[in-house]
Structure 1
Amino acid sequence: MEKNYYNDIEVASREEIEQVQLIRLQETVRRVYEKVPFYKEKLTSQNIKPDDIKSLNDVRKLPFTVKKDLRQNYPFGLFAVPLNEVVRIHASSGTSGKPTVVGYTKNDIENWSELVARCIMAAGGRKGDVLHNAYGYGLFTGGLGLHYGSEKLGCATIPISGGNTERQIALIQDFKPKVICGTPSYVLNIAEKMEEMGLNPNETSLQYGIFGAEPWSEEMRATLQQKLGIKAVDIYGLSEVIGPGVAIECYEAQNGLHIADDHFLVEVIDPKTLEPVEEGKEGELVFTSLTKEAFPVLRYRTGDIASITRETCICGRTTTRMSRVKGRIDDMLIIRGVNVFPSEIERCLLQVNELVPHYQIHLTKKGSLDNVEIHVEVKQGFFNTLPTSTLEDQAVYILKKKIQHIIKNECLVNVDVRIHPPRTLPRSEGKAIRIIDRRKEVASVK
């Protein structure tokens, strides 16, 4: 029987995994102490030396790294190798300040490619499959990350990138890929465009989907699987740690993302106290890289909320599993004192049969208080059976109340709802823009 995993470390004992992790953690701490002035200063200020790391628990002695540290050392201040050893540079968009810049040696690229190959195999892909890669290429790590991993596994890789949706559809029809990769919102856009063109997205060659780069709910998974007739799995990564490939769900269980324990040491902390939380409890994910040469990081605070478990999965993998990311600390909405993540609102909206899975959350002001408007879009045909404008107004009112009731019941918050006609909300060609913050606009008008 063909094995369903890429590397033996994925089914190693916990003792074997932790032995590898400890050796690599000690090597990483020594590396940054000797090669990165920022880390040497941090470690010295806390009276920590590499020889102090004698167990995995000693990772808690190390300082945290946050995004601000990357920006303050822009562009190459955190590199642990000279530029003549760097073969690739990636960077964030920098929409909220200077971009975060990360570098890769030749060996980093090789490790990254193997990690993503491991992910594709866990998701159901195999050597010889055709893989349609609709992640964006360029400074964003998604496109090239999946590309090199796909080639490493031996897939015939289609580097289509994002956008030009009709061409995407044509290539899916002609090249007959088995695997599709992209953001869930954009792949949903592809499926809807197929329907507009009179095609059935459930009748393509696609069998597996690898989706990530934005939080998405179980309800969105169900929608993608139903529309495309595929197994939809969640992939996790971030450029500051390496890019996509840090963790992925297996197609057998689709229940928790398998972390590459041999390359990353994960912690979950309380974001307020910075203390570790119990296994299975939600908190902020913190990663320490164990094999990165150009850009190693110690205890990087991701801002992502999830939990971890170390139970063996039904697929046989023994690696640490993380829950799907609930949301980012930065994206958490505080509505009348109640904390709500956009993914929780998405989960509510996708229970409403009259709506399509496209929405935006507008943050506005009502007096001195923050206000939330949920902008949603109805399905084609919603208004067709209503003969008069009076009935149309009544139907919209009833639908608004239905949405408000579900969100109030499950998220414990009151929201305003705006109903939009079909195909009027923006469609994603990459990462979906879910939150529109208009509070400063309102303030400036006043």
Structure 2
Amino acid sequence: MKYWQEREETMSVEEREAFQLERMQSTLNRAYKNVDFYKKKFDETGIKSDSVKELADIATLPFTTKQDLRDNYPYGMFAVPLRDIVRIHSSSGTTGKPTVVGYTRADLENWKDLVARIIIAGGADEQDIVHVAFTYGLFTGGFGLHYGAEHIGASVIPVSSGNTARQIGIMQDYRSTVLVSTPSYALHIAETLSKMGLNKNDLHLKTGLFGSEPWGEKIRQEIEDKLGIDAVDNYGLSELMGPGIAGECLEKSGLHVNEDHFYVEIIDPETLKPLPIGEKGELVITTLKREAMPLIRYRTRDVTRLYREKCACGRTLIKMEKPRGRTDDMIIVNGVNVYPSQVAEALESVNGASPHFMMVVSKKGVLDELEIQIEVSEALFFDEMKKQKSLMEELVRVFQQAILIKPRVKLVMPKTLERFEGKAKRVIDNRKPE
């Protein structure tokens, strides 16, 4: 069994919790002393930075949100002078001001180690040639996986995104063995491969390290079948560092959280109260060893659950279920909260339907109407109407059961729905604001 930092990844829960408490207390003190936002927040609520005597006490502390980061744009959340910042990343800012993230030299070294852990756990090593098809730039994904792969001694090809036919040519010529991208882009590569008259045997890939968007087992199976690889998930957030927070091992039974660097909680997104381990809710993360920009109880908006189980890989890190949606990508249809992740999950139980779908919301009179477009095989699309009708009826039934409203279902030809090089878009809202 291979590890990058065996002691940290396999120590007992009790020993790790002692590390977490010590680092949490240090983080709270540094944040209070060096970040005006946290000093003001703690003073307003009457909380002392030394009030955490045990890990459970963190539930008494206030949350940090993405809006807080935007309100303190660009450098207000930094806990060190700007001269100590050696790298700056940020979000795209498509929904408001971008969130700016800073790293000290020590932060970058820790980041490389954490990404190295998930790369090794996912089945790659120093013998591999890693093809990075994430966009480079202010986005953390490309650089995070790039430097983590170099750190383990692998060869890295920084291809970035776009021009898929060219990417396939590079994979063939350079004999790439590991693909780093979003899962939706991996499927796009597979489809382009087929259009070029090629198949998985014309590549040398063995492993795919995928992240940046929710994806289920049906998509995993399709990627593995079409590209002939082990497809593993990894999780990160730009605000908290980037990739390296958690990643799957080859058991593919949940993502191991690097909890010596991140303290994780699950809360009820409505009541904001902590939920017991094993229950599904919103993931909240506190950084434990970050110098430049410590974040306390950051609300990720990702929906998942945490659980502990003995893993055949030997890692004792807490596991996180693959996030299947976000509390902030919810749409409201006739008063009902609907998440794209619910549709994706329901689709997995239906034979004959692909994992590619689009939700289109529009107005019909005074009411909202939800149409779910699903790609199906060409054979089924041109098959007898009876089979199509049967599939549509089953889809309506499972969707109604999952989202509690009855949608329209439209079957579309393969490769009809748009493919995305970055995060997949699952909702088109055609309703005009009133």
TM norm structure 1: 0.92
Q: Is the 8 A contact 1:133 1:147 kept in 2?
A: yes
Match of 1:425 among 411, 417, 420: 417
Which residue number in structure 1 is paired with residue 96 of structure 2?
97
* Aligned ranges 1:26-105 → 2 under 5 Å: 26-105=25-104
Written as runs of structure 1 = structure 2, the 5 A alignment for 1:285-296 is 285-296=283-294
Which amino acid in structure 2 is aligned with residue 78 of structure 1? M
AA of the residue aligned to 2:279: K
Q: Deviation per CA, 1:82-121, whole angstroms, max 9, x where unpaired?
A: 2211111111111211111111111111111110011100
1:413 aligns with 2:412: no
Report the alpha carbon displacement of residue 394 of structure 1 after superposing the two structures with TM. 6.6
Partners of 1:224 and 1:380 lie apart in 2 by 19
1:8 maps to what in 2? 7
**Among residues 258, 270, 277, which one is paired with 1:260 in the alignment?**
258
**After alignment, is 399-408 or 427-436 more displaced?**
399-408
Cα distance per residue 1:50-89 (max 9 Å; x no partner): 3222221221222110111011111111111122111111
Task: Tell me if the contact between 1:373 and 1:416 (Cα under 8 Å) persists in the aligned partners.
Answer: yes
Deviations 1:121-179 (A, max 9, x none): 00001112111111111111111111011111111011111111001111221222221
Whether 1:224 aligns to 2:216 is no
Pairwise mapping of residues 285-364 of structure 1 onto structure 2 (< 5 A)? 285-335=283-333, 338-352=336-350, 354-364=352-362
Q: Distance in 1 between matches of 2:314 and 2:119?
A: 16
How far apart, in 2, do the equivalents of 1:383 and 1:248 lie?
A: 37
Q: Deviations over 1:403-444 (max 9, x none)?
A: 22332345443111233333332111111111112112xx57
2:144 corresponds to 1:152: no
2:362 maps to a residue whose letter is T
Structure 2 runs not aligned, ≥5 long: none
Once the two structures are overlaid, the 10-residue window that deviates more, 184-193 or 218-227, is: 218-227
* 2-structure distance, mates of 1:137, 1:332: 29
Amino acid at match of 1:149: G
- The CA deviation string for residues 384-416 of structure 1, in whole angstroms up to 9 with x for no partner, is 5x6xxxx6x776555433422332345443111
CA contact (8 A) 1:265 1:289 kept: yes
- Distance in 1 (CA, whole Å) between partners of 2:258 and 2:195 is 40
Mapping of residues 152-301 of structure 1, within 5 Å? 152-201=151-200, 204-251=203-250, 253-301=251-299
2:13 is equivalent to residue 21 of structure 1: no
Check the 8 A contact 1:217/1:344 in 2, yes or no: no
Q: Aligned equivalents of 2:199 and 2:363: distance in 1?
A: 43
5+ residue gaps, structure 1: none
The one-letter code matched in structure 2 to 1:406 is V
Q: Which amino acid is the alignment partner of residue 191 of structure 2?
A: E
Aligned residues: 434
Instruction: Report the Cα offset of residue 223 of structure 1.
Output: 1.3
CA displacement, residues 172-205 of structure 1 (integer Å, 9 cap, x when unaligned): 2122222111111010000111111111125532
Rounded to whole Å, the distance in 1 between the matches of 2:266 and 2:391 is: 40
Contact 2:172–2:202, Cα closer than 8 Å, also in 1: no
Distance 1:190 1:36 in 2: 44
Superposed CA offset, 1:14-52 (max 9, x none):
111011111111111111111100100111122222322
CA spacing shift, 1:15–1:383, aligned 2, 3 Å: closer
**SS in structure 1 of the partner of residue 328 of structure 2:** helix
Contact 1:7 1:118 in 2 (8 A): no
Backbone CA RMSD of aligned residues: 2.0
Structure 2 length normalisation: TM-score?
0.94
